[in-house]
Amino acid sequence: MSEQDAYPGLGHDAESGHVDEDRLAQRTISASDGSGVDRRVSVAQRRREIAADLAEQITSGRLSEGSPIPTVKQLIVRHDISKWAALRIQGDLRDRRLVRLIPGGGYVAGPPGDEPPPTVPVQERIEQIANEWAGRIRGGEIGVHQRIPGVPRMRRMYGISKYAAHEVIIKLDSLGLVYILEDVGPKAAPRDCWVGEDPPEEKKLSSIDRYYARQKRLRELHSRKDEVRDEQMALIRDRSAQRGKGRRTR
């Protein structure tokens, strides 16, 4: 039987479900000191004693780092306390940085791991990812006409929103580093489409004329949609024919 069941109405707000620890601490429960002699202690004091005992086991090394500490159910059974008190014991140990939570495995002895890195602002994160792919394209790691991740894959790779992934691709497109084919996605653009990498014959043109010349080349690349689709279909047919030929020769 829990403390709230044994002492209905004390320390418990029926409307909010909140337990008032100060009022609850005024109640007493029966506990044993190990010698078989019962003694009367307050609920809050009993909880603090259990938490202190576990803390001493951890700091003394009796519970080595990584060792599991008693679960809520084990605390309830061993010490005849309520679920609320057991949760508070674990919370006390966590607040003192004596235990850490292993997802799916409960609490274990040992200080929490490193704090998670601070959240990077969205626009800064977009710039970071765009600069990463810009460097890979300019450095030749991503070849001309080679596909780069689209919005869905970009989201999975970096754990970013659809908006952020879309902005990354727009940023690369604005630099002339990619062109986008419908039903295919973004691909690395040739060097002469990059901003600041205009062909020699266009460097004498005004900035606005260079811009229009670059856009014309990009439009020509965008118009390759049907050509690219035909190339892909031809490749699929060739592979199918090769597989069929391999089966017949067996």
The DSSP H or E segment spanning 99 is strand 99-102
pLDDT attached to residue 210: 72
- Rounded distance, CA 132 to CA 165, Å? 13
pLDDT attached to residue 199: 66
The strand pairing partners of 31, in sequence order, are: 39
Tracing tokens 């199918």 back to the chain, one arrives at 240
Nearest to 184 by CA among 131, 229, 218: 229
The tens digit of pLDDT for each residue in 191-214 reads 877 877 666 676 677 777 877 777
> Which domains are delineated in the chain?
3-109 (1.10.10.10), 122-244 (1.10.10.10)
Q: How far is CA 122 from the centre of its chain?
A: 15
> CA 211 → CA 75, 178, 188, distances in Å?
72, 15, 18
The tens digit of pLDDT for each residue in 2-34 reads 444 443 444 444 444 444 444 444 444 444 445
pLDDT along the chain (250 residues), means of 10: 42 44 44 45 83 92 87 91 89 88 78 61 90 92 89 87 91 86 81 73 73 72 63 74 68
Which pTM was predicted? 0.41
Q: What is residue 9's three-state secondary structure?
A: coil
